[in-house]
Amino acid sequence: MKLLIFLSLIVLLSESSFSSTDYHKEVRITKVIDGDTVIAQVGENPVRLRLAEIDAPEIGQPWGLNAKKALEAKVLGSWVTLEVIDVDRYDRLVARLNFDDRQINRELVSEGHVWVYRRYMRDESLLLDETIARKNKIGLWAAGSQIAPWEWRRSNRNERVNSTRKVNRRCDEKPYCRDLKTCEDALFF
């Protein structure tokens, strides 16, 4: 399914200067969702893009808004060169962004706005940029120890699961929606 979506997006992007051999395309960034996700205008269609190889703090996490603002300052409203790497499980294109001969993904790492996403990293030289930012206490590293976004998401996911209330139920009940407290209860009835 992901391959089909990826190939469909490649065909969509190939309508002008996009070449399926180099996976590059000029697009305009119309919205910044957070520090590693943007919306780009591709022809008439808005397309959600996930910046490759990096992971920004979530909006509710320390430095999350700073990372979003940094990305907005760099690319919002600008035409950037998109280097498509993959399609993720949320059907977003995963890409590197280049603007005025600058690698935006790398800049975000060097300026201490994001982590290198080791799980999906292809360019190991990004680790050096992150190490330098950490040593020099740049950006989010100035505050000392930080929780990586993937760990923060996992922790919050576990809290949500543990905080759901269980409802005592019997098979002969036919509750109203307002009586159901969890998805498990809804599936039961």
Catalytic residue IDs: 50, 58, 92
C-alpha 143/C-alpha 53 separation (Å) is 23
Beta strands in the chain (DSSP E): 24-34, 37-42, 45-51, 54-55, 79-87, 93-99, 102-103, 115-116
In this structure, is the dihedral angle defined by the CA atoms of residues 121, 47, 80 and 70, taken in order, positive or negative? negative
Q: Which of 122, 115, 105 is nearest to 152 (CA)?
A: 115
The position carrying tokens 């893009």 is: 49
C-alpha 91/C-alpha 5 separation (Å) is 7
C-alpha 47/C-alpha 94 separation (Å) is 11
C-alpha 30/C-alpha 76 separation (Å) is 6
Contact call for residues 137 and 49 (beta carbons, < 8 A): no
